[in-house]
Amino acid sequence: MNLDNLRTNYSKLITYLEAEHYSSSYIVKFKSEINNILRSENSMSWTCYKDIYHEYKLKSDSYHYLRHKRSIIGAIEQFDLNGKFPDGQSRNMLVPRDSYHSLNDEYKSFIDLYCEIENLTEKKSTTIHHESQNASAFLLSIQNQGIKKLNDVTEEAVLAFFISASGELLRGCSYRKNITAVFKACMNHHSQVCSEILAYLPMLREHRKTIQYLTTEEFNQIRNTLNNKDSQLSLRDKAIGLLILHTGLRGCDVASMTLSSIDWEHDLIKIVQAKTHVSLELPLLAVVGNAIYDYLVSERPKLDNLYIFLSQNRPFNRLKNESIGTIASRIMNISNVRTHKNDRRGFHIFRHFLATSLLENDVPQPVISKTLGHISPNSLSPYLSADFVHLKDCSLSIEKFPVIREVFLNE
């Protein structure tokens, strides 16, 4: 392992971290790790940076400790081999994180075949990715049971992926659906084995979890918190909360909004949805526009970054999708809403509340679908179960059914 480049140029990495105002403790960790690598170069039989990481893995099984080491060593590797500086977003490649990389050659070839076939169709790349990932996890389970070839797969091995020895359901209908898609796509090349494995897949009933609906009282509490100038929320969090509360936008779309997404002259929000890749145009309400403007003028770092919402710590990168969920949780804590364990706290309930409110006020379903950015009219179906106003219109009287008097007595 040649470390001459690191030895000669690592000072540039440290200078970059200092210039980007990374914390002193973070910079110290880089210095310490680099010194340790260079000091141990001759005494260790390292061939690559993965070997350095595995030395730590032999000493500890602490998740957080190893995660920290992966982050630091991975960043050093990217600088040394590719000349890349840390940006707060790029993932290190020290340890592949998906099942595919643990598969044997035959199983990898099968997944590769599926991707090759489907990439020639109009299927979305994200769908191909999810289906191949689920199928890889399925094949890895088969492989871990000692079965190395597709022709040797048994029904017992297939069922073990879905159902535990005690009869507990381990994976549901979505896994079965994605695995089915992969094996059907490869049917022309592996007809017999694909047919057999598809026949082994268990019949699972598709169901949706009961959704915790946002009540009108909770909505008002959250809205009051977002509009309160004296609340503990930052201007950024208020802007994001009001934006999603009044538009129902997905968190991932808010995180990816750029300065050009706001048409101030015509009071419009213009985005391309991450989930569907379809353009969406929504009116920019005054309360939302004012909140975004306040954030841009008074709080947002003065940087040439195209994204609207940035992290609050240096180097002020664009918000990650998971950070949007953290903001939702913070808003609900301050609003004293959904504070119990297992309460649903993500921003999606804002989207759900908007849809059901529009339904209850007799807004035509095509208009609601367009507002939410749905491609298929069927996407609105899950929201219909919460349209209590119209559901009550469908209720039947029980006057003609015999019911004993005690049923209606107060306890």
Domain spans, the chain:
4-82, 101-200, 216-391
The pLDDT of residue 357 = 82
pLDDT the model gives residue 197: 96
Sheet-wide strand order for 279-283:
262-263, 268-272, 279-283
181-220 pLDDT, tens digit per residue, is 999 999 999 999 999 999 999 988 776 666 677 888 989 9
pLDDT at residue 154, rounded to an integer: 95
**Residue 410 scores a pLDDT above 90:** no
Rounded Cα gap, residues 204 and 59, in angstroms: 43
Please give the backbone phi and psi of residue 401, each rounded to the nearest 5 degrees, phi first: -95, 135
Region of poorest pLDDT, from 128-137, 170-179, 195-204, 355-364: 355-364
Tell me if 353 sits within 8 A of 219, measured CB to CB.
Answer: yes
Q: Once rounded to an integer, what is the mean pLDDT over residues 51-73?
A: 85
Confidence band for 244, pLDDT divided at 50, 70 and 90:
very high
Question: Looking at 1-10, 114-123, 137-146, 350-359, which range is the least confident one?
Answer: 350-359
Mean pLDDT of the chain: 87
Residue 1's pLDDT band, with cuts at 50, 70 and 90, is confident
- Alpha-carbon span 162 to 182, nearest angstrom: 17
How much is the pLDDT for 207? 65
Range scoring the smallest mean pLDDT among 257-266, 287-296, 346-355:
346-355
Question: Six-digit token pair at 108?
Answer: 């990898």
Q: Is the pTM here over 0.75, yes or no?
A: no
Cβ contacts of 20 within 8 Å, gap of 6 or more: 314, 315
Which residues are tagged catalytic? 250, 275, 348, 351, 374, 383
List Cα–Cα distances, 20 to 198, 247, 310, in angstroms.
Answer: 53, 35, 15
The per-residue pLDDT for range 329-361, each reduced to its tens digit, is: 999 999 998 888 878 788 888 888 888 888 777
pLDDT of residue 400: 74
Question: What are the distances in angstroms from CA 212 to CA 102, 154, 219, 353, 392?
Answer: 38, 40, 13, 10, 19
Q: What does the alpha-carbon distance between residue 256 and residue 69 come to, in Å, rounded to a whole number? A: 29
What SS3 state is found at 251? helix
Q: Residue 339 has what pLDDT?
A: 82
Residue 91 has pLDDT above 70, yes or no: no
CA 47, CA 272: separation in Å to the nearest integer?
44
Nearest to 352, CA basis, from 252, 212, 206: 212
The answer as to CATH 2.40.50.140 being correct for domain 216-391 is: no
CA angle centred on 127, ends 368 and 204, rounded to 5°: 85
The answer to whether 143 and 103 are in contact (CB under 8 A) is: yes
Closest C-alpha to 223, from 353, 322, 343, 312: 353
- Structure tokens that stand for 70 in this block: 């992966």
CA distance 67 to 112: 29
d(CA 248, CA 355): 8
Please check the confidence at residue 386 and state whether its pLDDT lies above 60. no
More confident residue, 135 or 45: 135
Residue 374 — φ and ψ, nearest 5°? -75, 145
pLDDT value of position 96: 65
**E-assigned strands of 240-373?**
262-263, 268-272, 279-283
Phi-psi region of 88 (alpha: psi -120 to 50; beta: other; left: phi over 0): left
Please, what is the end-to-end C-alpha distance for the chain in angstroms?
A: 79
Residue the block writes with tokens 């969090």:
237
